[in-house]
């Protein structure tokens, strides 16, 4: 007879202090990097060094006290554009994640409660959508709607909703097999009550981590759309558009390309570290191993 788990070697040994500090560091780094971008975006709402339409700085000026990051080929201040780009990146990321969360969760729950044939149909459709890159689907939607900030948010949100829907379906079906859900059904609890009181509370932590990761995907997709000229139109400044405009002068004025590139890296790394830290906090198996 196989020995019980308690009689064998522990499967989740208590990690040492270095590992615990590493997990805390991941969450702290993620919060710090993300908060940095949020603060810059918040400041841009009330103050900018120069208006985005101000071209009095001179073409491709080097960094100076008047222009800490220099100017672009039209004489516009790069720091001002970078600050507005942070606001646009966060707006697109948050909006796209909200659309993906609402639409994806609704479809996933519907698939989890659907009859087998309908569940199989929805699952096959989700697999087909997921097979296409997010950027490609977003480009198709923007091509129909026309380039704008709203179109970018809608396109990226719709493209990411399939991933959220599949995860919601998988998690919901696992919860539906639990005994407490069977007991709730036996007691006469309706489907809405089961979803609200049993399914959503149990799948919310995992969905939160997944949505945090999708936020980073949305930021990269928005930068890519703007780089291709399918994002927010001028005079809006986005990091992707800054990269596109600086590619011709990268050798003579490298700051114009380095600054938005570093900004994208900081935000994406920040939300990914934050997601990893949230997973450590919300995952019961990881909590027990601390």
77 has which bridge partners? Answer: 71
- Round the average pLDDT of the chain to a whole number and report it: 85
What is the structure's pLDDT at 2?
A: 41
* Percentage of residues of the chain with pLDDT beyond 90: 40
Q: What is the DSSP letter of 6?
A: G
Q: How confident is the model at residue 7 (pLDDT cuts 50, 70, 90)?
A: very low
Is residue 127 classed exposed, middle or buried when 0-12, 13-18 and 19+ CB atoms within 10 A define those classes? exposed
What is the structure's pLDDT at 15?
A: 53
pTM value is 0.84
Report the b/e string of 246-285 with b at 16+ CB within 10 A.
Answer: beebeeebebbbebbeebbebbbebbbbbbbbbbbeeeee
Domain boundaries, the chain: 77-283
* Percentage of residues of the chain with pLDDT beyond 70: 89
Longest dimension (CA), the chain: 83
Q: How confident is the model at residue 284 (pLDDT cuts 50, 70, 90)?
A: low
E strands, the chain, are none
What is the structure's pLDDT at 118?
A: 85
Category of 244 on φ-ψ map: left (φ > 0), alpha (ψ -120 to 50) or beta: alpha
pLDDT digits (tens, 9 = 90+) for 60-107: 888 999 899 999 988 899 999 999 999 999 999 999 999 999 999 999
| Residues 228, 17: Cα–Cα separation, whole Å | 47
User: Crossing angle for the helix pair 255-282 and 17-46, nearest 10 degrees?
Assistant: 130
Q: Are 50 and 72 in contact (CB under 8 A)?
A: no
pLDDT digits (tens, 9 = 90+) for 110-146: 988 888 888 888 888 888 888 888 888 888 888 888 7
Is residue 140 classed exposed, middle or buried when 0-12, 13-18 and 19+ CB atoms within 10 A define those classes? middle
| Residues 232, 229: Cα–Cα separation, whole Å | 8
**From the candidate CATH numbers 2.60.40.1580, 1.10.560.10, 1.10.3720.10, 1.10.10.10, the one assigned to the domain spanning 77-283:** 1.10.3720.10
What average pLDDT does range 216-225 have in this prediction? 91
> For 173, what's the count of Cα atoms within 13 Å in the CB-facing half-sphere?
16
- Residue of 237 and 266 predicted with greater confidence: 266
Q: Are 224 and 212 in contact (CB under 8 A)?
A: no
């Amino acid at each position: 007879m196989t020995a019980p788990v308690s009689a064998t070697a522990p499967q989740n040994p208590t990690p040492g202090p270095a590992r615990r500090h590493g997990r805390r560091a991941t969450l702290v780094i993620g919060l710090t990097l993300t908060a940095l971008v949020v603060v810059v975006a918040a400041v841009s709402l009330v103050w900018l060094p120069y208006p985005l339409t101000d071209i009095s700085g001179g073409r491709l000026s080097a960094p100076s006290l008047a222009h800490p990051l220099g100017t672009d080929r039209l004489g516009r201040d790069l720091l001002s554009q970078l600050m507005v780009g942070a606001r646009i990146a966060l707006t697109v990321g948050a909006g796209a994640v909200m659309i993906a969360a609402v639409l994806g969760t609704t479809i996933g729950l519907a698939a989890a409660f659907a009859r087998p044939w309908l569940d199989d149909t929805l699952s096959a459709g989700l697999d087909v959508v997921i097979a296409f890159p997010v950027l490609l689907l977003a480009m198709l939607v923007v091509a129909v709607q026309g380039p704008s900030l709203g179109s970018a948010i809608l396109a990226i949100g719709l493209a990411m909703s399939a991933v959220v829907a599949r995860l919601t379906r998988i998690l919901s079906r696992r919860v539906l097999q639990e005994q407490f859900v069977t007991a709730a059904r036996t007691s006469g609890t309706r489907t809405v009550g089961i979803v609200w009181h049993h399914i959503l509370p149990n799948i919310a932590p995992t969905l939160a981590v997944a949505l945090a990761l999708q936020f980073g995907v949305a930021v990269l997709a928005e930068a890519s759309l703007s780089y291709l000229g399918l994002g927010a139109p001028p005079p809006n400044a986005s990091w992707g558009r800054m990269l596109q405009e600086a590619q011709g002068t990268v050798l003579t004025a490298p700051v114009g390309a380095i600054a938005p590139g570093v900004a994208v890296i900081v935000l994406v790394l920040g939300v990914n570290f934050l997601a990893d830290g949230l997973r450590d906090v919300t995952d019961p198996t990881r909590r027990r191993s601390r």
